[in-house]
Amino acid sequence: MAERFEVVVVGAGPAGLAAALTLARAGVEVIVFERGEHPGSKNVMGGVLYRHPTETVVPGFYHQAPLERPVVEQRLWLLTEEAALTLGYKDMVFAREPFNAFTVLRARFDRWLADQAVAAGALLINETVVEDLLWENERVVGVRTGREGGDVRAEVVILAEGANSLLTQKAGLKPDGINTNQLAVAVKEIIALPREKIEDRFNLEEGQGCTIELLGEATKGMLGTAFIYTNKDSLSVGVGVLLASLVRRRLNPNDLLEHLKSHPMVRPLLAGGESKEYQGHLIPEGGYQAVPKLYGNGVLVVGDAAMLVNGIHREGSNLALTSGLLAARTILAARDKGDYSEANLAPYRQALEESFVLKDLKKYQRAPFFFDQNPQFFTLYPGLLSRAAREFLTVDNVPKREKQKRILREITTSRSRFQIARDLYNLWRVMG
């Protein structure tokens, strides 16, 4: 006889663990399957973890969780081959409770989060792949794991399997196969550096952290971003680009990372560091239009598996945690009625629509297609802005008015005033 639980969760990332923790706290019998050696061992994130959504799941988590540094400064660098146009915001309010965001290493953080779920009563089974779903009368009634006699029956299965969402496809919630326009591929390296060096190089006080997002030459002009985040005694350095762009340009993500690391603006930040880990992962970036069906009879999908990533704002962990929480609440309401049919799980979509999760994805719903069709934002404009700054800041006895004219001439020979006005208007419509 197959084991029976009220809820099976597939995947112990933030989405699955938020759901498991919430359910276990409410007294639901919940089992979590994780294919990795332990939660976090297979997970990749830049990674900035946001305080507010995390606290909704584990109040006061920042007193106990293994966090790296509170993020007090966020910088944006527009790179060209030899220059960087920079913008940043630093705020000491972010350095003290209740904080805004933290850098984390997922191998440590997910393990800690899983411990909270287990302490609340969830059963966590590591090193176990869920291979298939069990069906009866067109409803999901459990999962088939890779272990011998490993069928587990459940009232509801939560699919929290991340970007490579094979079971979500098997559940019929998502089309089969990989859509290269909806997935980014990212590579990340963890580079060890003494903590004082990190603080000196990034102009930080003891224990504080900063993030740098890099565009333009950082991705060789492709749709995507690169990042450098400060951990306690290491840096997380990575780059992610749309899979379709990478295929079109016949480039390899590892070469992109090496290209980034050797950039003259980046190289000095990493100098003397020792490479500790190298990871690669997919990021679902299809946006609102690509969000699959989120529920069926006896099944719900959360986090990356549900395409819940806001690539424009580098947010994913918070959407994962919140979707896990809302899925759990939907299940608790269905449990009160004793009915886990599709109709009773449908309020999950509604709850996501009413939260920041789908509101934000909806706001940027045209962005993935727009930036793919308008590469000038990642290729032409960074170069033009950089050359304009170079011209204006070069002191060479040329009067400033003449410099302004030169800048305007260079800009308008590359792109007409009409095209620029149209680009700005379209950008505003997509992002505003």
* List of residues contacting ligand FAD (CB under 6 A): 10-16, 33-36, 42-48, 129-130, 160-162, 167, 186, 188, 238, 240, 281, 283, 303-305, 309, 314-318, 320
Phi, psi (rounded to 5 degrees) for 379: -110, -65
Secondary structure letter of residue 2 according to DSSP: -
Which two structure tokens, joined as six digits, stand for 184? 């980014």
What letter would DSSP give residue 264? T
**Contact between residue 8 and residue 317 where contact means Cβ atoms under 8 Å apart:** no
Beta carbon nearer to ligand FAD, 109 or 340? 109
CB-nearer residue toward ligand FAD: 163 or 384:
163
The type of residue at 423 is D
CB-wise, 208 or 317, nearer to ligand FAD? 317
For the CB of residue 112, give the shortest distance to ligand FAD in the complex, in Å.
Answer: 14
What's the min distance (Å) between Cβ of 42 and ligand FAD? 4
**Least distance from C-beta 19 to ligand FAD, angstroms?**
9
| AA identity, residue 177 | G
- Minimal distance, residue 72 CB to ligand FAD, in Å: 16
Q: Cβ 390 to ligand FAD, closest distance in Å?
A: 31
By beta-carbon proximity to ligand FAD, the closer residue of 13 and 298 is: 13
Q: Which of 36, 15, 43, 320 is nearest to 188 (CA)?
A: 43
Residue with Cβ nearer ligand FAD (101 or 411): 101
CA angle (220, 225, 227) in 5-degree steps: 110
Beta-carbon count within 10 A of 397 CB: 4
State which residue, 229 or 381, has the beta carbon closest to ligand FAD. 229
How far apart CA 209 and CA 211 sit, in angstroms, is 7
**Which 3 state secondary structure label does DSSP give 118?**
helix
Shortest distance in whole angstroms from residue 47 CB to ligand FAD: 4
Cis amide leading into 149 (omega within 30): no
Nearer residue to ligand FAD within complex by CB, 167 or 265 = 167
**Number of C-beta neighbours around residue 138 at 10 A:** 10
The label of the residue with tokens 């923790």 reads 21
Burial class (CB in 10 A: 0-12, 13-18, 19+), 257: buried
Minimal distance in Å, beta carbon 239 to ligand FAD? Answer: 8
212 DSSP 8-state letter: E
The secondary structure of 5-72 as a DSSP string is: EEEEEE--SHHHHHHHHHHHHTT--EEEE-SSSSTTTT-----EEEHHHHHHHSTTGGGTS---EEEE
Give the span between the Cα atoms of 26 and 322, in whole angstroms.
Answer: 17
Return the number of the residue (297 or 310) whose C-beta is nearest ligand FAD: 310
Nearest to 298 by CA among 178, 56, 424, 133: 133
Nearer to ligand FAD (CB atom), residue 48 or residue 204: 48
Sorted by sequence, the CB contacts under 8 Å of residue 82 that are 6+ apart come out as: 264
Closer of 142 and 240 to ligand FAD (Cβ) = 240
Shortest reach from residue 36's CB to ligand FAD, in Å: 5
Q: Report the nearest approach of ligand FAD to the CB of residue 32 (Å).
A: 9
114: left (phi over 0), alpha (psi -120 to 50) or beta: alpha
Nearest to 280 by CA among 252, 260, 306, 308: 252
Closest distance to ligand FAD from the beta carbon of 284 (Å): 8
Closest contact distance (angstroms) between CB of 184 and ligand FAD is: 8
Nearer to ligand FAD, 67 or 83 (CB): 67
